[in-house]
Chain A
């Protein structure tokens, strides 16, 4: 009489929790605004090539006759020195920024979390010391500087800048999870799991990790904005997407040579990156309020 299929059971308490989460998130109007900005960003990222007025301007396109046009009816954000429509390129930049965040977080968060769990569970031992000292070493250099060092050594392209940011991003999660895991490891339910003979992977993954999830998720939501910021900083100095691919940092850098006359070349990409950073910031605040067990 064994079930061949395992049904995913959502317990009533989980359903209740989800309701409470949505309610708490809704409380702050800014978080709703953030959610909207995030959804819009997602939409731009996914649908860019289909919705922009001049999709061919995203690639290698030159039209000196129409270069340097002020924002107007045909080109609402104007055109740059090569004649490309700034609006289309700004919208397309959302895609690269979002891909970078997703890739960086998808790799660095599991690595950092895993190391943090290990170090936290075995805190006080050699494993703890080694992992946390390595973390300290990575965190001893300011973030952007470390990312720049790594990215500048490699060939300048999108892949390598993502690699650089990933390499310096995991230590933050390691430290975050270490703090949580080391105190949770002392709790009775962990001790009893040990006594009963549960395997280490069970303890780490099924006992400790679920209790660390809220700060991890909160930080991830906020981090999307910061990864985008770092990516823009890297591409501002040429370490990121290469021409002719548009990106926020690259466009700002290109446009910087022509200020204040062709201000639209820098202002609109700047607005674009600000849009994303602010959106994810508000969204992240909402996620934090959602998980906040206390009052304000």
Chain B
């Protein structure tokens, strides 16, 4: 097992090097004068020249990359044109908000998809199953950013009291910073008011991200459950007289969960991508909003930094999903 993780990590580092080359290349192949774009055409020539020095733009491309990579490995991502601060500081500041959003969405997805899938599987071919199927079509057809807007419309019409902007209402101070995740920090320090407030603010954006995956992955689980229920081993277990809840919740669920968890791993990429739009819509102060702003304003170093952070996160999540899968289903084990 450790060997497997080691191999994956090594391969991952190799690929991430490649990713850094890719994103660096993308960010440097900007047509036009970068200094002009970043500082504006009214900046002084001296300022522009200083800028070019800072970004190594006077060197040839491979040298630029090596110097930039050296900086990165020292934790120096350069400075943002927009915030005028060290990008590393920006990333540290904004990452927790996105982490909290993604974690809450993830929790909704896991609970929701399992519940829907089991519900549909248990009552297959009844109206419950049909309803869940229709919901899954809705989930496919509505992109997350549209879902976010729909939720905003619905909440302002029917639940005007749900706050829609920011992580906390302006009257509440954030809890003491331990993890950066307001709900957890609030719960740890006993600041339940802040924790509750943060949760309410988190509700709409995480639902916007979660609804599509919940219904789609729930359908995947439902199909696996239905497929596996006609397998020989289920008939044998039934013949042994095991109680129904053990049969379904243990012996039918475990082999069926693997397919859904695989899809979850792949859907995580869409989750991260959709967060870029959803955070923008809700003005959520997270890494994704920072990233999309950087992209729209051609804040080159910031773009590279955000993409790299996300690539690393994606890699780690994929590794965890694969480990969970191999624990769940021995047929998927590679090596030990």
Contacts and interface: CB of A to CB of B under 8 A. Distances in A.
Interface of A: 133-134, 136-138, 140-146, 148-150, 152-155, 229, 232-233, 236-238, 252, 256, 259-260, 263, 266-267, 270, 273-275, 277-278, 281
A275 B150 CA distance: 16
B155 to A, nearest CB: 9
Interface in B251-278: 268-270, 272-274, 276-277
A278 B140 contact: yes
10 contacts: A140-B18, A142-B273, A145-B291, A148-B273, A148-B292, A149-B295, A229-B143, A233-B145, A277-B140, A278-B140
A204 to B, nearest CB: 26
Contacts of B270: 142-144
A141 B307 contact: yes
A136 B15 contact: yes
Contacts of A259: 149, 152-153, 156
Nearest to A164: B26
Contact of A281 (B30, B140, B303): B140
Interface of A is mostly: helix
B19 interface: yes
A281 B133 CA distance: 14
Q: How large is the interface on B (under 10, 10 to 19, 20 to 34, 35 or more residues)?
A: 35 or more
Interface of B: 14-16, 18-19, 21-23, 26-27, 29-31, 137, 140-143, 145-146, 149-150, 152-153, 156-157, 268-270, 272-274, 276-277, 280-281, 291-292, 295-296, 298, 303, 307, 310-311, 314-315
Given A256-B281, A277-B140, A142 B31 contact: no
For the complex of A and B, the 9 pairs showing the least CB-CB separation, nearest first, are A144-B273, A137-B18, A152-B295, A274-B141, A142-B269, A278-B141, A142-B273, A142-B272, A260-B153
Contact of A143 (B143, B153, B269, B303): B269
Nearest to B11: A136
Given A232-B143, A278-B140, A137 B153 contact: no
A266 B147 CA distance: 11
B311 A273 contact: no
A143 B314 CA distance: 11
A210 to B, nearest CB: 28
Given A153-B26, A260-B156, A148 B31 contact: no
Contacts of B291: 145
